[in-house]
A and B are shown apart, each in its own frame.
Chain A
């Protein structure tokens, strides 16, 4: 990352259109040739409450939010309540302005809606602006919007002002509005956009402002997608045509995308009574030969524990999503954490197996979703995609060609009726669906309706025809066969690019990360190497079966390793040590669990503290030194 970037933050009340406005703004910048990244912060409230979205744009790859930002567009919170001085939730009315000042960089720009916000009420506002050399623009955006159409258009006015100050051509925004808006509201929006743009040029002197938007160019066409889009489209392209679910933040986003799109292609989406039912429906559909998925977040996923085991022992291929958020219990619904790792790896009783993927960004979300379906159906085993609140709603640009791939409706080893006729059967007619011998553990199946293929699927241990059996030899043969799948899957996944090394190959130090923390770690690695350190990172995208060889090689190639994760119990580091059985003294942890994801500077600082043994951290992060095995 160079200094040649713009980080724009739009702040206001939840429900005031902050998310959509920022998404459009990001898209306009992407279309102009920049790489973009959005970071969203919102409270668990429907309307009102302080929320912001940051859009970071630069001419080259942006993998993380930055530290701080340089342009604040503070809209009023039209749903603000609690005007009292000492209200529990703080003074809501001025929050869009007051809450965001700490992170604003020196020389930054503040545009605030003077129609709704009063800077006099913000403690020490003028003094701080002076000290930090901020350029302040109080503009009555609400007034303008009211005058020219409707109050909601104050967001557009704010974007117009942004364009004027940061030197972004309004045409880019206009074009995008034309694509996205119906005729009726397009005209007044374009009008207000231009009026706001001109007002700034007419009324303000912009000399001395250093905040501006860089220029860039893409070699190929880009799309703006978030992690939820990535997962949904990956599933779609693998032929998933059945989804069942129950709403829970943040998994709901994928559920929504699929529910909107599946009926168009004759697929089925079911919102059901609870998560146990949701997972059970996915199993029912998959049993009949359809590619199916379900998913949830923390607590809802907990309810799926028993169906998950049923899918494993009955060898029904399903894909489950776990969009983690801060826990335990309901925890913090709109805040990210990576503390459900162990929950996903070990939930459900018995020696149960599953495959777990952890995508790091929207492009990987697409790839991993495709892989999750392939593995589930090829090996008749549940696959889980573990991601989190951060990745689910984070937008990035991805080359459009990334999605331009062939569909894969293959449902794995399902015999034809002719093949079934030749397969072994019980004298009564039941087909040997769970045969002991396959080397890779996968016994070919039949689906209900096929002639001659009937069998019993059961959550109880069963013999080759599916009959419940407690015979010791059969038990061992079945357990061993189901376990053999994992070795086959490990080999199959090997070299799939799910685990990615970043940074100089011969680096002295290593950083391990998974999931949504990877982009932040990559930016930190760049900064450290720019500063003369010698660091590389390994992003682990395949959590089960654990990529032992790749991680081992990585750890052995460096002096020491810092494991970065968003939880307080070092679950990922624990997993690594458990799987590899050594390296305790070589691994230390950098942990954060205050509800906000790591920023690159914190990882940089953590690196100095943990690996280079310097002074303690000022951030709310925890450094856990290496221990014995």
Chain B
């Protein structure tokens, strides 16, 4: 079997390579914010120098989960809430892959909330994009974990009694080493942030504000938004944890007042990724495990040689 390596094919990559040819047109509604994520991702990957064959997108279920149906890389459209554990293993098994996990707010902060916490805690080295439309889209508009308090829906007709999840603060406190928020209405910022997230060594979480004009008509289109990294009114240092935390709180409060603050809120370049930590303690091979199965000259160890003596 021929060997393969997913690491670093150096060549010019056309954005078109990520656009499938005759595949079905997206089934997303007109005006859906999900188009913005797709566009930003298609822009970011070639700039980050990763080819479609060395990229694996892992998604959950929801309108958001269909991202990789319209994106021309390796893809795994998994089950509701479980993109992260699948992505984690893929990255551990073949660290050469560029792994991008994605899903909705229900998917990532609701049913997959436990995985989100642990993936951030472990600081796995990949990018996670959450399409945050503050609603369940695919199942037709039920309240989601990010819907504001008082939000009415068919399953919460009297309005939600719950405070919404604050994804940025949650992510920071769980241990993510890169936390950002962007919005579909600004594809340039989105593209730049995704590119930075890809280049970051560690868990990079992007809360991506995506409007759902079909079920969340009242919700803002996330305009006008402000990029806090560009705007002089917001003076904070994203490498300083306390300042980042304060800025995130402000941002999350502001969103409910209709003010959309976006940008890179936190980055820790010093924290080793999970893979590095695991290598440190001798629990992770130097060479990608996945490649070993393609290496005909590898001498596979046998239990008879390694462990059976202990049982004699």
Seen from chain A, the residues whose Cβ lies within 8 Å of a Cβ on chain B are 31, 221-225, 229, 233, 236-237, 239, 241-242, 244, 261, 263-270, 272-274, 276-278, 280-285, 287-292, 306-307, 310, 314, 400, 403-407, 409, 411, 414, 416-418, 426-430, 447-460, 465-468
Give the shortest distance, in Å, between A540 (CB) and chain B (any CB). Answer: 26
User: Is there a chain A Cβ closer than 8 Å to B312's Cβ?
Assistant: yes
- In the complex, are the beta carbons of A242 and B307 less than 8 A apart? no
Q: A287-B76, A429-B17, A467-B24 are in contact. Are A400 and B89 (CB under 8 A)?
A: no
Q: How far is the CA of A427 from the CA of B17 in the complex (A)?
A: 11
Chain A contacts for B293, CB-based, 8 A: 239, 289-291, 409, 411
Establish whether residues B85 and A284, one from each chain, have CB atoms under 8 Å apart when the complex forms.
yes
Known contacts being A276-B82, A285-B89, is A449 close to B97, with CB within 8 Å?
Answer: yes
Query: In this complex, which of B78, B117, B287, B311 has the most chain A Cβ atoms within 10 angstroms of its Cβ?
Result: B311
* Chain B min CB distance to A222 (Å): 8
Cβ-closest 7 pairs across A and B: A428-B21, A284-B89, A449-B6, A266-B285, A428-B20, A280-B85, A223-B311
User: Is the C-beta of B114 less than 8 angstroms from some C-beta in chain A?
Assistant: yes
Say whether B218 faces chain A, with CB atoms less than 8 Å apart: no
Interchain CB contact under 8 A, B69 and A468: yes
Contact of B311 among A224, A428, A448, A456 (CB under 8 A): A224
Given A287-B76, A404-B304, A407-B301, A280:B66 Cβ within 8 A: no
Q: Which of B73, B76, B308 contacts A223 (CB 8 A)?
A: B308
Among candidates B89, B115, B285, residue contacting A283 with C-beta atoms closer than 8 Å: B89
Interface centre among B54, B58, B289 (most CB of A within 10 A): B289
Indicate whether A448 sits within 8 Å of B97 (C-beta atoms), given known contacts A280-B89, A468-B69.
yes
The interface on chain B, measured as residues whose beta carbon lies within 8 A of the other chain's beta carbons, has a size of: 69
Contact: B2 with A409, CB < 8 Å? no
Given A287-B90, A457-B77, 5 other A-B contacts at CB below 8 A? Answer: A276-B82, A280-B78, A405-B304, A429-B72, A456-B77
Is the pair A287, B86 in contact by a Cβ cutoff of 8 Å?
Answer: yes
- Distance of A292 Cα from B282 Cα, bound (Å): 19
Min Cβ gap A371→B in Å is 16
B118 within 8 A of A: yes
- B88 at the A interface (CB under 8 A): yes
Q: Does B5 contact A (CB under 8 A)?
A: yes
Residue of A nearest to B20 (CB): A428
Q: Which chain B residues lie closer than 8 Å to A233 at the CB level?
A: 303, 307-308
Interface flags, B222-246, vs A, CB<8A=1, else 0: 0000000000000000000000000
Q: Across the interface, do B283 and A241 meet the contact criterion of CB distance under 8 Å?
A: no
Is there an interface contact between A460 and B77, defined as CB atoms closer than 8 Å? yes
A/B interface sample: 13 pairs, CB < 8 A: A237-B302, A242-B289, A280-B85, A285-B93, A288-B97, A403-B302, A404-B304, A416-B2, A426-B21, A426-B22, A449-B53, A450-B4, A453-B53
Most buried by A among B4, B17, B78, B85: B85
Interchain CB contact under 8 A, A242 and B76: no
Q: Is the CB of B289 within 8 A of A266?
A: yes
Contact B93 A268 (CB under 8 A): yes
Residues of B near any A CB (own CB < 8 A):
1-2, 4-6, 17, 19-24, 52-54, 56, 58, 61, 66, 68-69, 72-79, 82, 84-90, 92-94, 96-97, 114-115, 117-118, 278, 282-287, 289-290, 292-294, 298, 300-304, 306-308, 311-312
- Identity of the chain B residue whose Cβ is nearest the Cβ of A398 in the assembled complex: B311
Q: Assess the A427–B304 pair: CB atoms within 8 A.
A: no
List, in ascending order, chain B residues with CB within 8 A of A236's CB.
301-303, 306-307
Nearest residue, chain B, Cβ from A221: B312
With a cutoff of 8 Å between Cβ atoms, the chain A residues found around residue B307 in the complex are: 233, 236, 261
A31 to B312, CA, bound (A): 8
With A241-B289, A429-B21 as contacts: A409 and B304 at CB distance below 8 Å: no
In the complex, A273 Cα to B124 Cα: how many Å?
14
> Cα distance A289–B52 when bound, in Å?
18
A277 to chain B: closest residue by CB: B85
Q: List chain A residues, Cβ under 8 A from B84.
A: 277
> Do residues A269 and B308 form an inter-chain contact, with CB atoms below 8 A?
no
Q: Bound complex: CA of A270 vs CA of B54, how far in Å?
A: 24
- Distance of A604 Cα from B106 Cα, bound (Å): 57
Given A454-B72, A466-B75: A430 and B23 interface contact (C-beta under 8 Å): yes
Chain B residues, Cβ within 8 Å of A414: 1
Q: What B residues does A307 contact at CB under 8 A?
A: 79, 82
Min Cβ gap B250→A in Å is 30
Inside 8 A of B82's CB, which chain A residues have their CB? 276-277, 280, 306-307, 310
Query: Smallest Cβ distance from A482 to chain B, in angstroms?
Result: 17
A290, closest chain B residue (CB): B93
In angstroms, Cα B31 to Cα A387, docked, is: 53
Known: A426-B22, A448-B97, A456-B77. A288 touches B69 (CB 8 A): no
Q: In the complex where A272-B85, A406-B302, A407-B301 touch, is A310 in contact with B4 (Cβ < 8 A)?
A: no
**Bound-state Cα–Cα, A518 to B282, Å:** 41
Query: Closest residue of chain B to A458, judged by CB?
Result: B77
Query: How many Å lie between the Cα of A28 and that of B110 in the bound state?
Result: 55
A270 to B4 alpha-carbon distance, docked (Å): 25
**In the complex, how many angstroms separate the beta carbon of B73 from the nearest chain A beta carbon?**
6
Contacts of B66 in A (CB 8 A): 468
Known: A288-B90, A467-B69. A306 touches B4 (CB 8 A): no
The complex places the Cα of A459 from the Cα of B24 at a distance, in Å, of 18
Give chain A residues whose Cβ lies under 8 Å from the Cβ of B294.
289
B86 touches A270 (CB 8 A): no
Q: Give the complex CA separation of A625 and B277 in angstroms.
A: 60
**Complex contact B78–A452 (CB within 8 A):** no
Bound form: Cα–Cα A453–B87 in Å: 19
What separation, in Å, do the CA atoms of A545 and B227 have in the docked complex?
59
